[in-house]
Structures are given as C-alpha cells and as structure tokens.
Amino acid sequence: MQLTLENPENTKSESLPFSRNNPFQAKVLKNSNLNGTSSSKETRHIELSLQGSGLSYMPGDALGIIPENDPELVASLLTEMEWNEEELVIVNKQGDTQPLKEALTTYFEITLLTKKILQQAAAFTENEELQNLVLVENSNRLKEYCNGRDLLDLFRDFGPWKASAQEIVSLLRKMPPRLYSIASSIAANPEEVHLTIGAVRYLAHARERKGVCSILCAERIQEGDTVPVFVQTNKHFRLPESQDKDIIMVGPGTGIAPFRSFIQERAVNPKAGRSWLFFGDQHAASDFLYQDELENYQQDGVLTRIDSAFSRDTSQKVYVQHKMLENSKELFEWLENGAYFYVCGDKEYMAKDVNEALITVIENEGSLDRDAAEAYLKDLQKQGRYLRDVY
C-alpha cells in the first residue's frame, strides 16, 4: 500500500526541499507491536527510511505524518448519503477537484465535528432536533454533541438531507497532519527515523472509534509501504548544549519516545552526563516498552538509572510521580547539581501530577515553603532546565 498524498494546493517537485507542503514518501522498514500478547494496549514501533530525502532532525523533534481516513468510514458516508464516489468535487479555494471518494479519503477531516460545521449543516435539513441544537441558547449542548462524534453521526442523526456532496464537503476542514515525537537519534540510525505510536480505539455513542493516524499505522501500513512525512522542529525540547549535564526524563507510555532519542544520542557521546529515566505503564510483563534496549543501555552505563511504575501490578496504583517522591532526596540532589528535567506524555493528568510531585520534592528536600518551591521551579524553567512535551 502506498499512501499517496493528493495535495492539489501544491505542485510537488523533487527539486524542492521536503516539508509539510511537499512531504517525503518514506519507506516503512519495520512495523511491530511493542506490547505483549496479554496487554490491553497496542503500541507500534515504526522504522522509516529517510534515504534520498535530505531530511534530518534533532532529538526532541517531531515527525509529521499526513494520514488517510479509514476506508470503512468513507464507504459508510458514501452509502449513507447515496453519493456517487466518482463525482468530482472542488476541494479548495483554487478550484482544484478530486473524485469524491478520494477527497473524503485523503483531503478532508471527517472524524471531528465542530460547532461551525453543525451550524452550517443546519441549512441543508429540516430536522427539528438540529435546528434546535444550533440555537444560540443551546451552545453548551451543541458543544457536547460534537464531542466524540464524527461526520457519519451527523448524517445519521439529522436527516433527511437536501444537500449535494459539494455543499457538504464545502463545510469540511482540510485534514491536518499528525505529529509524533521522534523515537530515534539520526547519529545512531543514519537515514532512518523511528516512531512509538499508541493505537487509539474506543467506544463512544454506540460506535467503535479509531484514531485516524494511529490505526492507519496499526492496521493498514505494512513493511515496504510508503508514508508521506516531514520533520517538525521543536526547539523547546532539546538536550542540554553541554553534553556533560545530567538529565532526568519522565516518560510513561508513549512518552518514552523522545527519551529513546535522547538516550541513543548520548550513547554515541562518550562524555555525556548522567541520565535517569522514570517510565510507567500498566503491567511490567506486557507493557515495559523497549525494556531490553533500556536495560542494555543501563548495563553499558549510558543510562545511569531506571525507575519504573506499573500501575496495575499492585493493589494500589503506582505512577511515575510516586516513584519521584520515593526518590526525592536523590532527585533534589540531581537538580541542585544542575540536572535538566524533562516530561513527555499526557497533558491532562500525568504532567500535572508530575509537576505537583516535583514541587513537593523541592519543598521537602529544600526545606522551603510552597511559594518558595514554586519559585524554584519557575527559575528552573527560566534557565531552560524544566522542559515539557505534553499533549
């Protein structure tokens, strides 16, 4: 399977540098599941070739993938609306056209609804429920409806529709690329880039939902296929300029990705400082991502220390922040000695809990009150020694 990017807005040229608007077709060298058979999770380790691209990256950067929508979802949309998949539709302001099926597959965002889409769609149906939902006073209900629903829900919930395919696709947004933290060092893997991608599957509103890009990677991309990619620099998540500085990395789950890149980079630098990794997931037996690799780095002295937390292996759930508090004395010593502190992963819960734990460590070990501990942490941020890549 080749994921060919149909992008009428840009004239593709091999002579132009590869970028978001002119992505490189990267060949898939490896695509494997990092989780054990007993795991409730599926985390893909993907290796892509950058040979001939001229692309390079730094540890901490991200790789953009321009995905395609699930063919089953596209087929359901066409069936629901009784549309002709070969009908040409205009996809952009320049007036470029594509066959409808291709446009729904490669060009438009069809898995997310917005208030604006529903408000505009209301003009194409007399459905009273939708007319009521888009009233100004029902703004909160409208927002709630959009959450976790897609274009197929809209079609099924509020028909019958009196709209052409062109009128409907004109309401849709262009599908944005998906960005993933790079999980490799180019110094250790010349002309390659590696990714760590958690497959997103969940049930919502009586239908199984799938992450657009993560399920593309988990279910439809095979070794030998090509994927349109570009490098997204992230200057705010870099290793210290001085390689001899110590680093503390907190990356549960797929948050491990950039730290694999950091560790690989440091493995090729014999003068690198100490490194300490906090990793967490559900079960040690099935969810310890890159375990053998990390333990080898530890044996070789590249990785000074690993502290892991597996939340479902004990009666009380243990997370990375608990491991930080358990090791608060040494953690504070590392900070006092000039260590850089990194966090990658879930923004909503984990990053907040790690931030709270860090303040508690500083408070207790530095004999400071809460305000002074927070000021200490702010100072670390100002020095560029507290860095977060959260999503």
Task: Determine the structural domain holding residue 156 and report its residue range.
Answer: 71-169
Q: What is the DSSP string of 84-103?
A: -TT-EEE-STT--EEEHHHI
Question: How much is the pLDDT for 16?
Answer: 78
Handedness of CA 277, 283, 285, 288 (dihedral sign): negative
Question: How much is the pLDDT for 2?
Answer: 56
- The reply to whether 239 falls in a domain is no
For 130-189, the pLDDT digits (tens) are 999 999 999 999 999 999 999 999 999 999 999 999 999 999 999 999 999 999 999 999
- Which is nearest to 282 in space by CA: 314, 307, 305, 306? 314
* Nearest-angstrom CA–CA distance, 346 and 341: 16
Single-letter code of the amino acid located at 43: T
Residues 257, 295: one domain? yes
Question: What are 93's two structure tokens?
Answer: 């302001």
Q: What is the CATH number of the domain that holds 33?
A: 2.40.30.10
Question: How much is the pLDDT for 281?
Answer: 98
Question: How much is the pLDDT for 5?
Answer: 47
Tally of domains in the chain: 3
Among 131, 148, 169, which residue terminates a domain?
169
Residues 94, 228: one domain? no
Question: How much is the pLDDT for 139?
Answer: 96
Helices 370-382/350-365 angle, 10° precision: 110
Question: How much is the pLDDT for 270?
Answer: 80
**Weakly modelled stretches of the chain, pLDDT under 50:** 5-13
Contacts from 322-331 at CB under 8 Å and sequence distance 24+? Answer: 322/357, 323/278, 323/280, 324/250, 324/278, 324/354, 324/357, 324/358, 324/361, 325/357, 325/360, 325/361, 328/360, 328/361, 328/364, 328/365, 329/365, 331/248, 331/361, 331/365
Residues 58, 189: one domain? yes
Q: What is the CATH number of the domain that holds 108?
A: 1.20.990.10
Question: How much is the pLDDT for 15?
Answer: 63
Sort strands 226-232 and 62-65 into parallel, antiparallel or unpaired: antiparallel
Show the DSSP H helices in the chain as ranges: 71-81, 100-102, 115-121, 128-133, 139-146, 151-157, 165-169, 212-215, 257-267, 284-287, 291-299, 320-326, 328-336, 350-365, 370-382
Residues 162, 92: one domain? yes
Round to the nearest angstrom and report the end-to-end CA distance of the chain. Answer: 30
* Nearest-angstrom CA–CA distance, 112 and 147: 8
- The reply to whether 315 falls in a domain is yes
For 252-296, the pLDDT digits (tens) are 999 999 999 999 999 998 889 999 999 999 999 999 999 999 999
